[in-house]
Amino acid sequence: MRRSEQSKLLISILLTVIIISGTTEAIAGSPATISINANPENVIIENTSLITASVYDANGNLIDPGNDTNVTFTTTLGNFTENSSATYTVKTINGTATANLSATTGGNAFVQVNVTDNTSITAATSVCFCDGSVAGVDFEVLNSSMVATDEFAANGLDKPTIIAWVVDACGSRVAQSGIRLNLTWTNATGATVGPVSDTTNESGYVRFDDMGVSDAIYNSTITINSTYGSVSKIIHFYPSEIKLTLTANPPIIATQDINTTAHNSTITLSLSYTAYENESKQYHALPDVLINFTTDLGTLSNATVSNVTSLINTTDSLGKASVVLTSGAVDGNATVTARIVNGSLRTYHNLIPNDAISIVILTENQFLRTTTTITPTSVPYTPYEWITVTHEMEAVGPVERPVDIVLVTDLSGSMSGSAGDGTGRSRIQAARDALNDFVDIALANGTSRVGLAAYSDAPDLYGPTTWSKWLIQSSNDSAYPFHPYTGFDDRSYANPKYYHTSSCGNNGYSDAHIDANLTTDSSLLHTEINSYSAKGGTNIAGGIIAGQKLLEWDGEPGRPKYMIIMTDGHPTMAPIEPDSMEAYQPSDYSRYSYYDSEYGIWISDYAPTGKVAAREAARMAESRGITIYAILFGTDPIGRKLMPEVASVAPPDSGRERNYFEASGGVKLEDIYREIYQEINSINSQINVRINISGVNVSGTFSPNAVYRSNSTRIYYTTANGTVYNLTREPEIVWGAYKIEFNNLSMPGRTTFEVGDRLNISYQLRLIRTGNLFEADSNVSNADGSLSSIPGGTVTLTTYSDSDRVNTPPDAVLDVVESKWQTSDPTVFVVNPGETITFDASRSWDSYNGYDLNYTWIIEKAKNATTGAVSEWLNMTNVSNATVPTIYNTTEVGKFFNVTLVVWDKDDELPQLSDTAHATVYITNPSNLNLTSDQSEILANGGISNLSATLTNATGSPIQGVTISFTQPYGTFGSFNSSTDDTDASGKAGVKFTAGHITGVATVMAETPGSPTAQPWFYAASDGRYYIYSNATATIRILPSGQITLS
């Protein structure tokens, strides 16, 4: 502590409180209090400090001149120059008295003054005397605005600057150069960084810019030391931009149904702060923050609290906190709000983030998901294959309807200016941040898609069509080759090659462009967005055209289409044609002041034609079913007039006339994009379907190309708990209308679908000629008139078309008669040793003369699976039928066959056109499965026996990674803790059997994949071999509880 500070502390202790006691009242104008100050407080030895005392009456006014009184000054160091003494008495003049203090030695002078006649009226101060030599160091920490502070933003941008200086014994700066100062500081991990050294300049200062920025939240201790001592201060890095998002899954839930069953939506908050790394915005989780959740409809619950309308949760290590919203009997929009609890998070400049809000729709309606599947989806080999059509209707919780959104961004040169939102960012950086944030939110549901388009910062100065039009203009003075937006033929203001020069306002690189197709891949979009930079002119209309093209080219039919276009200014360019993304500078472009008579605004660097073009492009996009949201980033006067005209009409309940937003006056661009997404999401989550299945009608319209296969229909209803009801019945076929109908289907004991219930209807059609299977989608309806579409009904199946009979080869198709030997690969088969396998080529065909073919079978038998050595060949040619004789010699374990089928035209008049099909047959290896139990007798009602199955091959080696199933084939005497287990490296798999209440002998079975008849083999991925199916049994005696068996 410096001497001046010590003296002030001592004086504060010495000061007494003036207590006026007794019954005597103060005389008006008489002394009541006194004050003192020294100027300067720090003085070079032998110089003087002016000490001033002021005397006040009881009302706080200087005493009247008639009441001037004597005051006495005393000092502990030096003398008053008026009398060369340490005590000096003088009379006040108009309530004020002065004295001059000087000292010949260094130190702190404690100066006191009191009213001479009343020593209880007193005051004190201190004056420091020194010789002016360096005695210590001091410093302050400045932010990027060069303002002293101890609070910094942990955003990767706010960089502390340390200004240090040397001081004398009184703490005053000494202007002395060449003194070395050392800087150290602690980082986010607590480690000390430095020292960094420098010497003072001629003014006694050193500037350190070495700390750099931080994206971590922590306290840093900064220390400056030298040979004259050291001093430390603490600065704080706090989050400066808080991202608070709230999502609901699902966003729509049903109210309580007639059985008072409630429905839930999980509300998840994500809390993070933002920082910049290499100019890329990064999010850092904020854990251990208290969040207050509230709802105005339904109730909230977490792990400890249930059925309340307000509760507090704490964010986890990922910055997330969740509650469950439970519906009641009332429907409507539940507004769930999340707010940071006061005091649980300290932020930069006490920033208070906006509340996060999520709207969950509580509706009395359930929801039906309908799908249609068709198998197979193509018939390349014969027009006589039966096609299986399956309609499935499932009652599900509601989901967001997916949408396609294109973000159209202004990348013109003006976007390099300041964002003006208090973050210190440029507009282009703010735009990148907002776009990245929007992508993360919009793609969270995994079904919506986002695409990117932009205008300016194009890869080329001008497009090829722009240049060709310019050549026409430059070679023919009467030519007007550019689009006549203004109502007459137009010309370019200047040569496109010079748009980018200062003489033309730096408006080059102005074409619009598509940067990313519609996608759910957020990483792809982030990469593109982070590459955005600012350059060129403002071609708003071109941006709208680019967005429209992307939605038309890549948009999914039936999806709502949205375009969000942002600009920070007004048009300087226009498209060369109404549907072109290439730009030109219209002839009415003015670099200097121009008066827009329509808007009544003076403006420079402006092309009125671009304004007309933007309005035309917006109306064209709207006519194609695209909803436009327009954002003005800033306060450009033309933009404030034009962008509302570009925007679509706002939704009825939005409180706006148009879909127009303005990011100005401190409003962040991210908040605008989030608000737009929340509106889009809300619009596309309001589904209203009521499912009443009392008398369900299902109909499908098929084409004249198809016929129905009799007795092929299967109908079954599966409840949410897995109970299956078969309702097999034949449909009504309306042949003239090519319609298949299932009318008045009644579900067992059901009048409504519950969530998780499914109704499946499958039947078979045969395509008799090339063309569509269905002409229209199927529908499901019910008795109360509600209707739901079953999508996927329109499918095109194309058969083999032989337009050139002579030169088209036949098709070889290789099947196996015994389906149990077929693997998932249609060219790979297996067979157990000693069993038979028969191949069938009857589906091979030729388009000429009634499928008349010759067949050749080439069978490469008993090939060694390891070395490939061939043991035996069999070659059969000119076989009259398509079935190869049964192959018996399958006893060579672990080997395989290669089977080749060659078919060719039989008619000698035809060229010998042929086709080949191949198959591989593996002979399985023996397997052995052994099952044991550690307890052969257990008590009923909870007795436990541990079962162990061991799977080995013919040599006794274990077979690893095979799923063993455990069952009770002869009655249920208990339960397993798991019905399956995979064999480990020792070939072992095990489960625990727990006895139920039934006594007797329980038979438990372990079996490999496959079955004794349908698939008597299995595949082991661990060694790549096929094995014979195997099973094993064990018995466990279940004794009555308390029974003891004596032996």
Note the pLDDT tens digit of each residue in 655-667.
Answer: 889 999 999 888 8
pLDDT classification of 945: cutoffs 50, 70, 90: very high
Domain co-membership, 228 together with 304: no
CA distance linking residue 99 with residue 127, whole number of Å:
13
Q: Which of 851, 824, 849, 826 is nearest to 839 (CA)?
A: 826
Q: Which of 247, 631, 281 is nearest to 441 (CA)?
A: 247
pLDDT at 285: 85
CA distance linking residue 154 with residue 284, whole number of Å:
10
Q: Which of 98, 136, 130, 111 is nearest to 10 (CA)?
A: 111
CB < 8 Å & 24+ apart, contacts of 872-877: none
Look at residue 805 and tell me if it is in a domain. Answer: no
Query: What residues contact 214, with CB distance under 8 A and at least 6 apart?
Result: 152, 154, 156, 188, 220, 237
Q: What are phi and psi of 407, to 5 degrees?
A: -95, 115
CA distance linking residue 550 with residue 512, whole number of Å:
12
Provide the 3-class DSSP secondary structure of residue 129: strand
Using a 10 angstrom Cβ sphere, with 0-12 exposed, 13-18 middle and 19 or more buried, the burial of residue 867 is exposed
Look at residue 492 and tell me if it is in a domain. Answer: yes
Residue pair 790/372 in contact by the 8 Å Cβ criterion: yes
Using a 10 angstrom Cβ sphere, with 0-12 exposed, 13-18 middle and 19 or more buried, the burial of residue 857 is buried
**Lowest model confidence (mean pLDDT) among 1-5, 83-87, 323-327, 331-335:** 1-5
Look at residue 650 and tell me if it is in a domain. Answer: yes
CA distance linking residue 853 with residue 810, whole number of Å:
8
Cis peptide before 353 (omega within 30 of 0): no
Cis peptide before 40 (omega within 30 of 0): yes
The torsion angle over the Cα atoms of residues 150, 156, 157 and 159, rounded to 10 degrees, is 40
**Helix %, strand %, coil % for the chain, to 5?**
10, 40, 45
The single-letter DSSP state of residue 668 is -
End-to-end CA distance of the chain: 94
pLDDT of 240 over the 90 cut: no
Q: Which of 22, 95, 110 is nearest to 56 (CA)?
A: 95
DSSP 1020-1032: ETTTTEEEE--EE
Q: What is the mean pLDDT of residues 323-348?
A: 86
CA distance linking residue 563 with residue 628, whole number of Å:
5
Q: Which of 137, 129, 160 is nearest to 7 (CA)?
A: 129
Domain co-membership, 246 together with 214: no
**Lowest model confidence (mean pLDDT) among 311-315, 477-481, 617-621:** 477-481
**Lowest model confidence (mean pLDDT) among 271-285, 332-346, 471-485, 866-880:** 866-880
Q: Give the number of other CB atoms < 10 A from CB of residue 718.
A: 16
Domain co-membership, 212 together with 256: no
Q: What is the mean pLDDT of residues 748-762?
A: 68
Q: What is the mean pLDDT of residues 221-236?
A: 93
pLDDT at 88: 95
Among residues 77, 96, 130, which one ends one of the domains? 130
Provide the 3-class DSSP secondary structure of residue 291: strand
pLDDT of 889 over the 80 cut: no
Domain co-membership, 554 together with 654: yes
pLDDT at 331: 75
pLDDT of 223 over the 90 cut: yes
Torsion 577-581-582-583 (CA) sign: positive
Look at residue 803 and tell me if it is in a domain. Answer: no
Please write the tens of the pLDDT for every residue from 180-214. 999 999 988 888 988 999 999 998 999 998 888 88
User: Highest mean pLDDT: which of 206-220, 375-389, 617-631?
Assistant: 617-631
CA distance linking residue 242 with residue 634, whole number of Å:
22
CATH number of domain containing 850: 2.60.40
Q: What is the mean pLDDT of residues 491-500?
A: 59
More confident residue, 302 or 683: 302
**Lowest model confidence (mean pLDDT) among 135-139, 283-287, 872-876:** 872-876
Domain co-membership, 560 together with 701: no
pLDDT of 799 over the 60 cut: no
**Lowest model confidence (mean pLDDT) among 95-109, 172-186, 320-334, 843-857:** 843-857
* Number of domains present in the structure of the chain: 7
Domain co-membership, 559 together with 655: yes
Averaged pLDDT of the chain: 78
* 1035 bridge partner residues: 1003
Look at residue 550 and tell me if it is in a domain. Answer: yes
More confident residue, 723 or 989: 989
Q: What is the mean pLDDT of residues 295-306?
A: 91
pLDDT at 978: 94
More confident residue, 727 or 210: 210
Look at residue 513 and tell me if it is in a domain. Answer: yes
Provide the 3-class DSSP secondary structure of residue 253: strand
pLDDT classification of 606: cutoffs 50, 70, 90: confident
The residue range of the domain holding 965 is 927-1039
pLDDT classification of 13: cutoffs 50, 70, 90: very low
Q: What is the mean pLDDT of residues 586-590?
A: 79
Q: Which of 311, 325, 319, 201 is nearest to 253 (CA)?
A: 325
H/E element holding 14?
helix 3-14
pTM (two decimals): 0.41
∠ CA 712-717-722, nearest 5°, is 125
Domain co-membership, 117 together with 231: no
Residue pair 637/603 in contact by the 8 Å Cβ criterion: yes
pLDDT classification of 809: cutoffs 50, 70, 90: low
Using a 10 angstrom Cβ sphere, with 0-12 exposed, 13-18 middle and 19 or more buried, the burial of residue 833 is middle
CA distance linking residue 841 with residue 818, whole number of Å:
13
In terms of phi and psi (left: phi > 0; alpha: psi -120 to 50; beta: otherwise), the region of 1000 is: left
Domain co-membership, 620 together with 678: yes
CA distance linking residue 476 with residue 658, whole number of Å:
44
Domain co-membership, 253 together with 196: no
**Lowest model confidence (mean pLDDT) among 522-526, 715-719, 891-895:** 891-895
Among residues 869, 893, 923, which one ends one of the domains? 923
pLDDT at 931: 95
Q: Which of 119, 127, 114, 146 is nearest to 48 (CA)?
A: 127
pLDDT at 759: 78
669-683 and 427-442 helices, crossing angle to 10°: 30
CA distance linking residue 646 with residue 1021, whole number of Å:
61
Using a 10 angstrom Cβ sphere, with 0-12 exposed, 13-18 middle and 19 or more buried, the burial of residue 853 is buried
| Rg value, the chain, Cα | 44
CA distances to 93, 382, 616, 806 from 846, in Å:
130, 10, 59, 10
pLDDT of 1015 over the 60 cut: yes
pLDDT at 138: 95
More confident residue, 918 or 73: 73
Helices (H), 476-562: 522-530, 540-554
With pLDDT > 90 as the criterion, what percentage of the chain qualifies? 36
pLDDT of 616 over the 60 cut: yes
Query: What residues contact 596, with CB distance under 8 A and at least 6 apart?
Result: 602, 603, 606, 608, 611, 638
CA distances to 196, 513, 685 from 191, in Å:
15, 49, 51
**Lowest model confidence (mean pLDDT) among 302-306, 513-517, 898-902, 903-907:** 903-907
Residue pair 565/540 in contact by the 8 Å Cβ criterion: yes
Please write the tens of the pLDDT for every residue from 569-584. 999 888 877 788 777 7
Residue found under tokens 């993304």: 581
637-646 and 540-554 helices, crossing angle to 10°: 30
Query: What residues contact 238, with CB distance under 8 A and at least 6 apart?
Result: 151, 152, 153, 154, 217, 346, 347, 348
pLDDT at 739: 61
Look at residue 1046 and tell me if it is in a domain. Answer: no
Domain co-membership, 394 together with 415: no
pLDDT at 663: 92
pLDDT classification of 384: cutoffs 50, 70, 90: very low
Among residues 901, 923, 945, which one ends one of the domains? 923
Look at residue 90 and tell me if it is in a domain. Answer: yes
Domain co-membership, 417 together with 519: yes
H/E element holding 338?
strand 332-340
CA distance linking residue 650 with residue 656, whole number of Å:
6
Q: Which of 665, 790, 779, 35 is nearest to 371 (CA)?
A: 790
Domain co-membership, 375 together with 462: no
pLDDT at 582: 78
pLDDT classification of 458: cutoffs 50, 70, 90: low
CA distance linking residue 963 with residue 716, whole number of Å:
30
* Structure token digits, residue 959: 């077979």
